[in-house]
Structure 1
């Protein structure tokens, strides 16, 4: 899976990425999973389809009733179509420079989130629907007042969300200019019970697969494949013992592509098949 540098791939006609940038994204494939190197903070205003994003320490899924403000970084995201419509979202990128200018102009000096939360979920409403409709890449690229208009649109959405969400949103904006990076172990352990592959977790750690494996073995004194498999199978055993789920309900979430492989691995570890427990 190649790494997509965003918004660079959307601004091929521009030698330098501007501090504010709008892109109309459309997709006709049913599912697209991407490794994304997001170099600017970004609003994702989804209009058709669903989006799921895996961050270093968590994941988030939204549909067109919500929008996301995403922190720049290395993320894995999946875009899905659940109808015959074209997947469509508007992306609004902004630099740390613009964010800092806005915060100094309109807010008091507040402490950022203690947690490094990589996203903020926005509940769409009539105002936001009108705002999203007003965003168009054509409007803000081929107009003599494009930059001035886009600056006003940026302040508009920021001020509206500050009014809507208050200090929570202000704290989140502060956290976007924090330079702290999540520790390696936090990233690994927050994805223990996900279905991400090793190379995908390595990507979230900003590492090649080989570097990740070396670092992991040094940190945990055990190869990552075996360590993750043991943790995920233990979780599977707990879920089955709870009695509400069957093996067919959980094998994908535990990181297995098919039920047969999951059943074999489970029996090798625990000496019984998953059906023996769930029954």
Structure 2
């Protein structure tokens, strides 16, 4: 069983490429070295060492990139239950706006480290240097310290945190997932995972919304954009394939021929 709050260190010298992650709790990630990219159903975000991020519980895809060869990816994590967040808002209601606001359908909050937050991260690092487990009440105090500082110094941010628990309906989740990843190489299976759906359920909902299969729809949209870039911007296929989410030029050319029946070069010559 998970503790209400856990402060952990994550350090590795092996980069991770788009791993499926199911977070059972909310999580702050304080990045020290390297770079983290997170894909959600409706968006994606990259985190660098001068920043930290709050992720709500749920499904996402994570990539961890080393800053350079022979270096580590290094972060400090605070995982916590939503109940601790609700309790904080109940106890410190005077720090929050009384205005009602439509909840944000955003599963993350990216923040910049100021001087206090840099030192706060150092304090977590110091606590984790000992081999002894951190007393649970002390971990709760550190989380409370972080929430109080954000509430006082960045009231707009704490309001965003309060509004992050909104659950969109299935149709909205699918639409956000698709529109946010048209230009990436995220697979349909990964999109279904981000939407917290089985592949068959995702395909059924997609077909009901768009009247097409997700693979075909995404291919057509990406090739429409490719054709526009080739025609209007006069760019070469070798200059745009990666931007369109393809790992290599030959795969892009094959996809283009599948929709237009000719190669990108032939398409440019005919236009």
Distance in 1, matches of 2:193 and 2:92, equals: 36
The offset of 1:234, in angstroms, is 0.8
> Where do 5+ consecutive residues of structure 1 fail to align?
1-15
Correspondence for 2:143 among 151, 154, 158: 154
CA RMSD in angstroms, aligned pairs only: 2.4
Residue of structure 2 aligned with 1:42, choices 4, 27, 36: 27
1:106 aligns with 2:95: no
Q: Is the 8 A contact 1:140 1:150 kept in 2?
A: no
Structure 1 pair 265–99 and aligned structure 2 pair: CA distance change class (3 A): same
Instruction: Flag the structure with higher helix content.
Output: 2
The separation in 2 between residues aligned to 1:251 and 1:74, in whole angstroms, is 28
CA offsets 1:49-86 (integer angstroms, 9 cap, x no match)? 00000111110001101111111111011011131211
| Residue 206 of structure 1 pairs with residue 196 of structure 2 | yes
Of 216, 227, 232, 2:222 maps to 232
Among 59, 73, 95, the residue aligned to 1:87: 73
Aligned residue number for residue 169 of structure 1: 157
The farther-off stretch of 156-165 and 35-44 is 156-165
What is the Cα deviation at residue 272 of structure 1? 4.5
Q: CA deviation at 1:226?
A: 1.1
Shift of 1:139: 6.2
Counterpart-to-counterpart distance in 2, 1:87 and 1:265 = 35
Flag the 1:273–1:164 CA change in 2: closer, same or farther, 3 A. farther
Q: CA deviation at 1:17?
A: 0.8
| TM-score relative to the length of structure 1 | 0.84
**Contact 2:103/2:166, CA 8 A, preserved across alignment:** no
Structure 2: any 5+ residue segments left out of the alignment?
Answer: none
Comparing 239-248 with 126-135, greater Cα deviation is found at 239-248
The answer to whether the Cα contact below 8 Å between 2:104 and 2:160 also exists between their aligned partners in 1 is: no
Higher relative contact order (CA closer than 8 Å, sequence separation 6+): 2
Aligned CA distance change for structure 1 residues 41 and 278 (closer, same or farther; 3 Å) = farther
